[in-house]
Amino acid sequence: MRRGPARLVLLGAPGSGKGTQGAALASRLGLPYLSSGALLRRQAAAGTELGREAAGYLDRGDLVPDELVVALLRGALNARPSSGGYVLEGFPRTRAQAEELEALAPPDAAIFLAVPDEVARGRLERRAGQGRSDDAHREVVEHRLARFHDTAKPLLDFYRKRGILVDVDADAPPEAVTAAIARALGAGSRPSLG
């Protein structure tokens, strides 16, 4: 097992609570929190070249092409100390992205937040109107859920084979899910939350 601060990846459907849990874990562990969705939305809002290229995909709920996302995440990961940990949310989402991450800074644990689609839909409906345009349209939400199901299996298989996949039942209140993640990480030879 690699020594040093934890490197954690959060996987899950839209509405699975990746952002909530990512922020909670990062603050609890004192690690940098990187969210691919937030980074992409920031680029789009700032109107950078990358942001303009990504904007249509974000609006439709399509995956942004690997080369754009990888360039953005490479920059963000390289901006932190190379020996340091991270909590990464929303990346990787494809097998190619997972392989890039192995080359950049391989994770110690990939935490899969499992929720039924109906629960995810309900959460996104409640979040609609809080500013994210991709939450406000039902067809975009359905498209994001479908894209998640198209791409999840190869990613989960990739991390299961690596022996670092942690399955967590995310159909529970946020604090209970954080506690379940802490228990799961503490149980193995994985980074402990103390």
Q: Which stretch binds ligand ADP (CB under 6 A): 59-67, 103-111, 164-172, 183-191?
A: 59-67
Looking at beta carbons only, is 85 or 90 nearer to ligand ADP?
A: 90
Buried b (16+ CB within 10 A) or exposed e, 47-68: eeebbeebbebbeebebbebeb
Residue 123 contacts ligand ADP per CB under 6 A: no
Q: Is 113 left (phi over 0), alpha (psi -120 to 50) or beta?
A: beta
Tell which one of 91, 112, 158, 159 touches ligand ADP (CB under 6 A).
Answer: 91
Q: Using CB atoms, what's the residue nearest to ligand ADP?
A: 37
**Residue 132, token pair as written in the block:** 């994210």
In this structure, the strands spanning 86-89 and 7-12 are parallel
Q: Which stretch binds ligand ADP (CB under 6 A): 88-96, 154-162, 168-176, 179-187?
A: 88-96
Residue with tokens 């299961």: 160
Number of residues that bind ligand ADP (CB under 6 A): 18
Looking at beta carbons only, is 156 or 188 nearer to ligand ADP?
A: 156
Strands of 33-35's sheet in order across: 33-35, 86-89, 7-12, 109-114, 165-169
By CB under 6 A, name the binding residues for ligand ADP. 14, 36-37, 40, 57-58, 61-64, 69, 90-93, 97, 134, 144
